[in-house]
Amino acid sequence: MTRIAVLKGGMSSERDVSLVTGAACAEALRGLNYDVVEIDVSRALWEQLKSVNPDVVFNALHGDWGEDGRVQGVLDMFGKPYTHSGVMASALAMDKHRAKHVLASVGITVPDGGLFDRLQIAKSHPLETPYVVKPNGQGSSKSVYIIHDDNEDQRAAIAGDTEMGERVVVESYIPGRELTVAVKDGEPICVTEIIPKGWYDYTEKYGDNAAEHVCPADLPDYVTTLCLDWAAKAHDALGCRGISRADFRFNDENCTPANVVNKIVMLEVNTQPGMTPTSLVPEQAASVGINFAQLCRWMVEDASWPR
């Protein structure tokens, strides 16, 4: 019987989400008669893996340390097949600022902006308002701020939000609709529109009153085609493996086939998308006839070493 170590939890600010992802995937894999051991990852990961001695490692971690190349480096050294992207793609995609340069180099439209000192933002606007301030190496929309005016309380909150790090990403605010595309083995699945009740933040993603997902999204064919093409292109350009997910903003005002490339902006690529009950990738897979257990099995069968 194949033994699978499911890595979950970890030490990032997204620990709670990872625990849910890991538990859901472990349950599905047990239902497929795999021998599953769940590991709440610590800095002693090497010893944790040695004690389990798995045939395959299923990486269900989220956030820094778990999906930024560091754990992937340990898994490369450990020498057993593992899921998702390897060191290079994980590190590059997690660095939002540098990933944008790669995406732009292959013709994908990305937001204007750059890296700025977090404390300096509290003193002066780095861009014309409105703009977005977010960590350079986190996901799940934690510590994301939309700046519309001289709100001193908001800028003070940014200055005090040490979890963001010293250097943060500042980008022009992109109005419009929230779209996302999952890519499986280099092939895009479909487009989902996310309709939040407010800003699509951590609560909207994972709370009980979460945002609505329209899957597949009701879009003109030329918009769907471009999103699918760009998601696959981003997956390839960053060197992703297994599953990835690309997130977009779409300004549909006066959009035509002639100007669509200026109306869709790719925000980021996630190399380890959530696999929680409300997550987007399982929904997209289900829309094309792949249930949750089948998706987890494919991820195990796709695992390899090195990545």
The interaxial angle of helices 87-94 and 96-105, nearest 10 deg, is 100
| Six token digits for residue 35 | 């021998």
Task: At 38, list the tokens.
Answer: 């769940």
Q: Which of 205, 190, 204, 144 is nearest to 170 (CA)?
A: 144
Distance CA 291, CA 237 (A): 28
Quickly state the pLDDT bin for 304 (edges 50, 70, 90). Answer: very high
pLDDT at 293: 95
pLDDT at 202 (0 to 100): 45
Q: Is residue 262 flagged as an active site residue?
A: no
**Helix locations, the chain, DSSP H:** 15-31, 45-52, 70-78, 87-94, 96-105, 118-121, 152-160, 202-206, 221-238, 280-287, 292-302
Instruction: Give the residue-averaged pLDDT of 15-41.
Output: 96
Structure-block tokens of residue 298: 């494919």
112 carries an active-site annotation: no
Would residue 193 show up in a list of annotated catalytic residues for this protein? Answer: no
Q: Which of 247, 249, 279, 307 is catalytic?
A: 247
Domains of the chain and any CATH numbers = 3-83 (3.40.50.20), 93-110+175-271 (3.30.470.20), 113-172 (3.30.1490)
**Under the phi-then-psi rule, with left for phi > 0, alpha for psi from -120 to 50, and beta for the rest, what region is 27?**
alpha
Q: Confidence band (pLDDT; 50, 70, 90) for 204?
A: very low
Tell me which of 12, 18, 136, 140 is the catalytic residue: 140
- Is 304 designated active site? no
Q: What is the mean pLDDT of the chain?
A: 92
Q: Return the structure tokens found at 240.
A: 């992703």
Residue type, 14: E
Answer yes or no: is pLDDT of 137 > 90.
Answer: no
